[in-house]
Structure 1
Amino acid sequence: MLYLKENANVYRVTNDDILYLQQNGRHISIVTSDREYTLRKHKIRDVEKMLGERFFKCHSYLIVNKDKIKEVCKNEVLFDSGHSIGMCYAAALRLRKSLLNI
C-alpha cells in the first residue's frame, strides 16, 4: 500500500489497484484503472522496494502488476481494465518468461 501526496491531498493506493508504474524523468506515474497519480522527485527503485512479488520490473523505468495482465503481445501489455502500455521486445520477452514460470 502506498500513500501519495498530490498538491494538498493524500491518497491511499493499494497494490491491488496498481496496473503499472513508469519513471518519467524525476517523476513516477502510478497508473490504476481509475486514474493516474504522479509521485514527484522519486526513483522507481525506491518505490519498487515497497511492492510485493506480484510486480515485475520489465525495464529500468517500468514495473507492471502481473495479476492485472490480460495479454502480453510482441511490444505491448494489455491489462484487464483495457489499459495498455508499449515496451521494447526484450522487456516483453522477459515478462512473458516470468509469467510462464509461475
Structure 2
Amino acid sequence: MLKIYVCEDNKEQRTHLKKVIENIVLMEDYDMELECVSENPHTILDKVKEADNVGIYFLDIDLNSDMTGLVLAQEIRKYDPRGFIIFVTTHSEMSYMTFMFKLEALDFILKDEQEELDKRVYDCILKANQRFASANNKVQANYSIKVGDKVYTVDYDEILFFETSPNVHKIILHCKTRQMEFLGKIKEIEKELDDRFYRCHRAFLVNKDNIKEVDLQNNVIYMVNGDECLMSYRQARGLKGFFKKTI
C-alpha cells in the first residue's frame, strides 16, 4: 500500500488538495491511503518515521515554519528513499533547488491554474502507482489478493502468515500492520509463493523471513511484531533454525 502525505500551510489550498487526492484514489480504486494532511512539517515527518510503507508526498516549499518543504523532503528521504516527492508551490523560481538538493522529485507543480494543478496531481498519483507496481514486480516481491471489487498488492516483506478462516473458502492474510480476508485455499496459495513461505500447519502458511522464534514445547511461532502462528509438531523440523533457546 502507498501512503499519501500532504504538507501545505494554506488552509484553503490544503483542503482542496486533500479533496482532489481522495477523489482520485476513490475513482481509480488504488491501494492507497491518505495518511496525513497537515500544515506542520514536523507532524508529517513524525508520521513518516513511524511508517514502513512507501509514500507519496505533496509538499509546499514555503511552509511558514522553521522547516521548508525542501528541508522536509531531505528528511523524508532518510526514512523513505523510495518515496515519491511532488512539490506544489507558487514559487516557480525554486524549481532548480530541487536538483541542487538532489531530491529526485517526481514533479514540480505550480498552483497558478487550479485545473492544471488537478490534472498534474492525477498524473503524479497514476505515475507513482505504476512505478511502485513495476518496481515490486521486477523482484517478484509481492502477492496480490482480491477483496470485494478491490485488488491489493502486498510486499512479501509485509506478510507474516496466511491462515484458514472460520468462514468457508476464505483465507486471512496477516501482515505487520493489518489483516485482510479473501477467497482462497492454503494449498493453492502455497504453490504461488516462493521458498520463504513454509506450510507449518494444515491451516497456516508462514513467512520464514518474519519469524522471531519458534516455541517447540507449545508448538507456537512468534512473529517479529509479536503475533503468534500455530505449528504442527510434524512440521517443526523445517524450522529448526528458529527454535526457542531453553536453559
Q: 1:89 deviation in Å?
A: 3.5
Partners in 1 of 2:200 and 2:230 — Cα distance? 11
Q: Which runs of 5+ in 2 are unaligned?
A: 1-141, 243-247
Aligned equivalent of 1:16: 157
SS of residue paired to 2:194: coil
- Give the aligned residue type for 1:6: V
- Give the aligned residue type for 2:229: I
SS of residue paired to 2:205: strand
SS of residue paired to 1:16: helix
Deviations 1:32-55 (A, max 9, x none): 011111121x21111111111111
1:90 aligns with 2:234: yes
SS of residue paired to 1:56: strand
Partners in 2 of 1:94 and 1:62 — Cα distance? 15
Q: How does 1:63-74 map to 2 (within 5 A)?
A: 63-74=205-216
Q: Which runs of 5+ in 1 are unaligned?
A: none
Partners in 1 of 2:172 and 2:233 — Cα distance? 22
Q: How does 1:1-102 map to 2 (within 5 A)?
A: 1-24=142-165, 25-40=168-183, 42-74=184-216, 75-91=219-235, 93-97=236-240, 99=241
Return the TM-score normalized by structure 2.
0.36
Structure number, greater radius of gyration: 2
Contact kept? 1:15, 1:51, Cα under 8 Å:
no
SS of residue paired to 2:234: helix
SS of residue paired to 1:52: coil
Q: 1:61 deviation in Å?
A: 1.7
Deviations 1:75-102 (A, max 9, x none): 21111112112334334x23433x37xx
Q: 1:23 deviation in Å?
A: 1.6
Structure richer in helix, relative to its length: 2
Contact kept? 2:161, 2:175, Cα under 8 Å:
yes
Contact kept? 2:211, 2:222, Cα under 8 Å:
yes
Q: 1:5 deviation in Å?
A: 1.7
Partners in 2 of 1:2 and 1:96 — Cα distance? 23
Partners in 1 of 2:239 and 2:145 — Cα distance? 30
SS of residue paired to 1:90: helix
* RMSD (CA atoms): 1.8
In percent, how many aligned pairs have the same letter? 33
Return the TM-score normalized by structure 1.
0.81
Q: 1:29 deviation in Å?
A: 0.9
- Give the aligned residue type for 2:201: H
